[in-house]
Structure 1
Amino acid sequence: MSSSMSFASPPSRLPDPHYQSVFYEGVPTKRFFAWVIDVALITLITVTLGILTLTALFWFWPLVYLTVSFLYRTITIAGGSATLGMRIMNLQLRGPTGERLSGGEATIHTLAYLTCSAFALPQLISLVLIVIGDKHQGLHDMLIGSAAINRPR
């Protein structure tokens, strides 16, 4: 008896970019502005924490910024499948099942995003993929099968 095991992943249930293009219209530009908003909010939170600790946290700025960024992104994505910047820009992250990201998926997405952001080449690859790809997925999105789409009404 021979058995063949298939390790192929199940097909994505994200909206099809060719038949449901409305979900992907303007996504690269919206992602950029959402990112700018999120970076501004994370910086504001980090500066506020530094001031509240009488500048003690400023000695550990990179670590504090990274921690705030991780918590902000994970909590907001887990709570509504979008960061506050994404919500303002009317975007939402969806997983390979087409559903909103769960808390665990939000954590994995954030870890993948921060890892790609920490290195120039993966960040550059992500930017190119977001601009030219059918689903406008960054490298971190492709790794876990997620995509940012225009929020369904």
Structure 2
Amino acid sequence: MFYEPTTHLPDPERQAGFYDGVTIKRGVAWLADTVLIALVTAIIATVTIVGLFVIPLIFLMVGFAYRWITISGGSATWGMRLMAIELRDAYGQRLNPGLAFLHVLGYTISMSTILIQFVSVVLMFVDERGRGLTDMALGTVMLNRRA
């Protein structure tokens, strides 16, 4: 018998409200998070002076830490919370720190290669649950936050 782990998640046809507009909200949340990470990076780089020479590395480290901490703590970054969306695992539960780490690692890897990121974004628009490559690999999904 084939086991489909997404059966614990809201059905995209019968409970479409959980998935309505999630892909666009995800993009806006990403923009908000990126602006916040850039501001923190600029502050760190300016205060440390030496940081001015390694801004991309600081940006990568701040972004990874920010995403991991916020997703571990509430299954959403501040940008995602602003857009009222959250990540859930295959059983509909919030992400634990280990799964949050793997999700952020997958995101970071996909962002490092334009082709992988392009495929991931296209999948978010065509998949019935709006999942990207990392979501598909880990069984996670982005949902509108329950009221």
TM-score (norm 1): 0.92
Q: Does 1:95 align with 2:89?
A: yes
Moved over 4 A (4+): none
Q: Which runs of 5+ in 2 are unaligned?
A: none
Partner residue, 1:109:
103
**Which residue type is aligned with residue 22 of structure 2?**
V
Residue 26 in 1 paired to residue 21 in 2? yes
What is the DSSP-based 3-state SS (H/G/I as helix, E as strand, rest coil) of the residue aligned with 1:98?
A: coil
**Unaligned residue ranges in structure 1 (runs of 5+):** 1-5
Structure number with the higher helix fraction is 2
2:68 and 2:104 in contact (8 A); partners too: yes
Task: Please report how far the alpha carbon of residue 39 of structure 1 lies from its aligned counterpart in structure 2 after TM superposition.
Answer: 0.3
Larger Rg: 1
Question: For residues 53 and 13 of structure 2, what CA distance do their matches in structure 1 show?
Answer: 50
Percent identity, please.
42
Partners of 2:69 and 2:141 lie apart in 1 by: 18
Asked if the contact 2:5–2:139 (Cα under 8 Å) also holds between the matched residues in 1, the reply is no
| Cα displacement string for residues 110-147 of structure 1 (whole angstroms, at most 9, x for unaligned residues) | 00011011101110111101111100001111110101
SS at match of 1:149: strand
Shift of 1:83: 0.4
In 2, Cα distance between the equivalents of 1:14 and 1:121? 29
Aligned to 2:31: 36
